[in-house]
Amino acid sequence: MNSPLPALRESAVIVPVYRDAAGELQLVLVRRGERGIHGGQLAFPGGKRDPEDDSLLATALREAEEEVGLKPADIRVLLTLPELSTFTGGFHIAPFLASIRRPETWWCQQPEIAEVLEISLRTLADPATHVREWWQLPGWPEPMLVDYYRVGPYQLWGASYRIIHPLIPRLLAGEWDI
């Protein structure tokens, strides 16, 4: 008899964008610390829902402040994005696209967050940044074709890739006032 699959853990993220001094759209990502299930990966600020969180938006706002010091008063939610689940890791994610007021300096919750990255959306829109490769990762039964963005020495892939990929042309087209 098969045992039931474990329940997916509810989580939420803020997908933070802002215009820099030159008017260019910037996307904010975090690089997770090396420990943990997503060690070293690029992600959006966010995390697991706590029992005291009134909503998944409350989770995303709380986590963004805890992880990188982004205060809720500096976040303007533009759109509740479609929810998605991770293929590995067991998370169900509620993403929220937000225009932010960038803090003077970013704060990293150690050891969970190794660094904050600010990436130009034009860089991600450049076809030379987009890569598709066959990967075989631990725990995967067979190699999988993986799409990702090359971000300096890092790869933006998985759920974070699936969240931002369809938004890039819409953001660059000015669909939202940022």
Residue 2 falls inside a structural domain: no
User: Is the pLDDT score of 1 beyond 50?
Assistant: no
Residue 32 falls inside a structural domain: yes
What radius of gyration, in Å, describes the C-alpha atoms of the chain?
Answer: 16
Structural domains of the chain, count: 1
For residues 16 and 1, the model is more confident at 16
CATH classification of the domain holding 66: 3.90.79.10
User: Is the pLDDT score of 6 beyond 90?
Assistant: no
Residue 77, domain extent: 9-172
What pTM, to 2 d.p., does this model score? 0.90
- Contact between 97 and 176 under an 8 Å Cβ cutoff? The reply is yes
- Residue 35 tokens read as 């420990």
Helices (H) and strands (E) in the chain, counts: 4, 11
Give the integer Cα–Cα distance in Å for 10 and 138.
Answer: 24
- Count the helix, strand and coil residues of the chain and give each as a percent rounded to the nearest 5: 20, 40, 40
